[in-house]
Amino acid sequence: MPTSIVTYLGALRTKCVHVKSNNSFITDAPVDNNGKGEAFSPTDTVATALASCMLTVMGIKARDMDIDLTDATAYVTKTMAENPRRISKIEVILDIPAKVDEKNKTILERTANTCPVHQSLHPDIEKEIVFNWA
C-alpha cells in the first residue's frame, strides 16, 4: 500500500492524500515559478517537513524525559537557488516555552538536529537552526 497518492489537478496544483488517514492537502506552484502561490509549494512542504520532524522527535524525547513541549512553535524560511532550481537554505527558528535545564536542552537540540528529515536532506542545503528557550 502506498504512503500517499498525489493527483495533478491542472493549473500547476496537486492534491496529496495520506492513504492511511485520508487527510489531504493541496500544493500550488509558487508565484516565482509560474504559479498562483495559493497553497504550500512542493518545496515549501519539504522545508516545513524539517521543522515538523524536529518538533515531533523532540516531543517524543521530551515525553520520555517528562518535559512538556506543548505550544513549541517553529518559524520556517526557505530560500531557493537557480540553475538548477532547488532549495539552497532552510532556516528554522524554534520558540520553546518549556523551562528546561542546560543538559536537557542539549539532549533535545541534538535530537532535533538528527531527525529523519534533517538526515535525509541533501548536504548542500544550508540548514540554519535557532533554538529560543523560555
How far is Cα 101 from Cα 98, in angstroms, rounded to an integer?
A: 10
CATH 3.30.300.20 domain position(s) in the chain: 42-133
pTM of the model: 0.95
Distances (CA, A) of 77 to 18, 66, 71: 25, 30, 19
**Residue 88 has what pLDDT?**
98
Residue 109 pLDDT: 98
Q: Exposed, middle or buried: residue 32 (CB in 10 Å: 0-12, 13-18, 19+)?
A: exposed
Task: Give the per-residue pLDDT at 2.
Answer: 97
Residue 119: closest CA among 32, 31, 53: 53
Looking at residue 49, its pLDDT comes to 98
Question: What are 31's three cell numbers?
Answer: 508565484
The neighbouring-strand residues paired with 96 are 133
| pLDDT value of position 83 | 93
What CA–CA distance (Å, rounded) separates 39 from 30?
8
Q: pLDDT truncated to tens, each residue of the chain (134 aa)?
A: 999 999 999 999 999 999 999 999 999 999 999 999 999 999 999 999 999 999 999 999 999 999 999 999 999 999 999 999 999 999 999 999 999 999 999 999 999 999 999 999 999 999 999 999 99
The CATH architecture to which 42-133 belongs is 2-Layer Sandwich (3.30)
d(CA 108, CA 102): 10
